[in-house]
Amino acid sequence: MPTVKVYIPGTPGQYPVIIEPGLLEHAAEHLTAYAGHQVAIVTDDNVAPLYLEHLMTELSSAGITGCSIVLPNGEPTKCQDSLNQVYDFLLDHRITRADAVLALGGGVIGDLTGFAAATYLRGTHFIQVPTTLLSQVDSSVGGKVAVNHPRGKNLLGAFYQPELVLIDTETLNTLDARQIGAGLGEVIKYGCIMDRDLFAMIEYCGCRPGLVSLYPEIIARCISLKAQVVAEDPFDTGHRMILNFGHTLAHAIENAAGYGTFLHGEAVCLGMLAAADWGEQLGCTSPGIRERILKLLENYQLPTVLPDTLSADRLFPSMVLDKKSVGKEIRIVLLDDIGSCHVTKLPAERLLSLMEHLS
């Protein structure tokens, strides 16, 4: 049972990320230390039929009172209206700061629930139970919680670490090919920015079926990489920005296309290709890197072509609002080579000129 410890400076110690197939079958034994009286579960209508009843039964058998709210699945749920629904749910059930708020689902549910936990009563215990590949390798760890704004993705949020992350790798068996692909986009990101061996392993496998048996190792590896970065820069003011490789354009794509049109990991694939192209244009990324990433994405049936409707002029306004922006400059993550990257600042007009080659 691999366990990754995530250490955040300035907080009371570490929190564990427990990775195990079948973990939801005995999840309650890990939850008793974090729930004063109740566990409030936030989930969605895709996940609830699969796991909610069993988890509620688990809690009851451990003497813990459970309550739940089921929201619609998908990125549109990650909004202020849903946040208010969660607040009302917590108030209706008289959740106190001694109780725990648990996110059962993918990145949308995790981010939304985390933001609610961070702000309700100025903070309650927060537990992540991610059920998608993307949330297991990335969004459930590190404490970035948020909701979207009509003008941009994740513009309303906070840094709020979970106290426990439970990853049951068997939940991946219920995902469709598109959800698996979205998660692979984030896995490839980690290979691009800081783990050339991980990238090479994915290249060597060559197809999705070859990776299935490696998912527990891949999840633990990605979380370990993220934990290293987050420990160094928990509030995303410096080195942690490398985790946003491909995200400056990806968030703009999600916003411009309409939340839910592209899954986050799908948009990241397109963002990585664009960033590799920009780096090669600027002379800081080794020649041929974009082509190598392109081939890998194609082998794994991941998006590589931006729709004609998403022109540079349509995407750029959201990119200017990117959280890494400083004044009239936009900070973007560029590769040196596979496994190595850096953050650079570009004048907005220079980035717009680079985007003329978007395809």
Beta-bridged to residue 167, according to DSSP, are 19
Domain boundary among 174, 195, 224: 174
- How many other C-beta atoms can be found within 10 angstroms of the C-beta atom of residue 1? 8
Judge if 297 and 238 occupy the same domain: yes
pTM attached to this predicted model: 0.94
- How many other C-beta atoms can be found within 10 angstroms of the C-beta atom of residue 214? 13
Domain boundary among 174, 194, 218: 174
> Per residue in 101-134, pLDDT tens?
999 999 999 999 999 999 999 999 999 999 999 9
Cβ atoms of 134 and 98 within 8 Å: the answer is no
Residue 242 has what pLDDT? 97
Place of tokens 């003008």: 151
Single-letter amino acid code for the residue at 196: R
Judge if 169 and 204 occupy the same domain: no
| 30: CATH | 3.40.50.1970
Domain limits at 188?
177-357
- State the total domains in the chain: 2
Judge if 336 and 322 occupy the same domain: yes
Domain boundary among 120, 152, 174: 174
Tell me the DSSP string of 41-56.
Answer: EEEETTTIIIIIHHHH
Low-confidence residues in the chain, pLDDT < 50: none
Cβ atoms of 175 and 133 within 8 Å: the answer is yes
Judge if 43 and 130 occupy the same domain: yes
Judge if 317 and 347 occupy the same domain: yes
- How many other C-beta atoms can be found within 10 angstroms of the C-beta atom of residue 35? 23
Judge if 149 and 256 occupy the same domain: no
Residues 6+ apart with CB under 8 A from 245: 189, 192, 193, 271, 272, 275, 333, 335, 341
Q: How far apart are the first and last CA of the chain?
A: 43
| 317: CATH | 1.20.1090.10
Judge if 163 and 230 occupy the same domain: no
Residue 328 has what pLDDT? 78
Residue 135 has what pLDDT? 98
Tell me how far CA of residue 82 lies from CA of 32, 74, 87, 278, in angstroms.
Answer: 28, 12, 9, 37
